Amino acid sequence: MPDLRSLSLKQLRAYAAVIRSGSVTQAAQQLSLTAPAISNHLKTLEALAGGPLVDRSGDGAAPTALGRPLLRIADEVEAAIERGELQLRALKQGAEGCVVLAVVSTAKYFAPQIVAAFGRAFPRVKVTLSVGNRGEIIAGLERNAYDLVIMGRPPAHIEVERIVLGDHPHVLIAPPGDPLIDDPEVLPEDLMARTFLAREEGSGTRMLTNRFLERLGGGRPFEIVEMGSNETIKQAVIAGLGVAIISEHTCGAELAERRLATIAMTSLPIVRQWYLLSRMGRPLDDAARSLRDFIRERRADLLPAPVAPR
């Protein structure tokens, strides 16, 4: 039976670097070590695990079945070290605790207000706000990098505690003056002829856009132009390059200022939910519980107010 009690951080880092970089040479360069040192770390780790950890049958290096748990351990250890560094820094600066709050990029339009409000109520607790796309946030959840997460649909493969924060409406935006804005009976054909702008594959709004167009067109092909951020999508719509389904919470200012407008249909807006998540089985410390309870108790006031249709 494998005995991992004597494994070291150096061994885990060497293994993770080989898998991520694809070779012993690249891993050595990343870690400022020699290639023989990396190879020795791998051999020792393989002896502890009881078998090979690197699959080189394809391009680069991939973890074997024995290696995958060790790669997860390496990620979780690095995440724990990062959290520990943040906590130590906060304590040295006079804080009573430190919380890592991660949010998907769509939530960055209101998450700073949550952090600011919490800071006024709990000035001795330091909150680190981490923003990423859906894939990045899920990867962080997998390696236990965060205390709390705000996102839409929770990942199915990770056991989480979830708190519903409130509605998350998605609207179809167009530039002011678009003929469909004032059309009381927008037809599917009207929209299927348009160019839709959307985020990358895997993002929450991209999945929502794909499902909307598949239902709308009944299987007919549609055109999507991929863009890297919500800000780019908004500016492209304002410039007349297309239309987009986007979180209303990302474009409230533009709608209020009439730089953007919404197209109305019976199936719009598409309303999803915001969730506050934490990993199941990982106890929250006092600081994280304070932030969780603060958000839960004030959730009705922390999300942006609905924007009146225009």
Question: pLDDT tens digit string along 125-156?
Answer: 999 999 999 999 999 999 889 999 999 989 99
In the structure, what pLDDT confidence band is assigned to residue 287 with cuts at 50, 70 and 90?
very high
pLDDT of residue 182: 84
Residue pair 168/104 in contact (Cβ under 8 Å)? The answer is no
Residue 282: per-residue pLDDT:
84
* Site of tokens 């998605």: 170
Residue-wise pLDDT tens digits, 155-183: 999 999 999 999 999 999 999 989 999 88
pLDDT at residue 50 greater than cutoff 90: no
d(CA 57, CA 61): 8
Q: What confidence tens digit (pLDDT) does each residue in 79-120 have? A: 888 878 877 777 777 667 889 999 999 999 999 999 999 999
269's tokens: 């807006």
C-alpha dihedral sign at 114, 83, 74, 162: negative
Q: Is 236 helix (H, G, I), strand (E, B) or coil?
A: helix
pTM of the model: 0.77
pLDDT value for 307: 66
DSSP letters spanning 99-116: EEEEEEGGGGGTHHHHHH
Q: What are phi and psi of 257, to 5 degrees?
A: -90, 5
How far is C-alpha 210 from the geometric centre of its chain's CA atoms?
Answer: 19
pLDDT reported for residue 225: 94
pLDDT score recorded for residue 32: 92
Count other Cβ atoms within 10 Å, centred on residue 69: 14
Question: Distance of CA 117 to CAs 16, 59, 150, 177, 298, Å?
Answer: 39, 49, 16, 38, 10
pLDDT at 80: 83
- The answer, yes or no, to whether residue 51 has pLDDT greater than 60, is yes
Q: Phi, psi (5° rounding) for residue 72?
A: -65, -40
d(CA 118, CA 299) in angstroms, rounded, equals 12
Per-residue pLDDT at 201? 86
**For all residues of the chain together, what is the average pLDDT?**
89
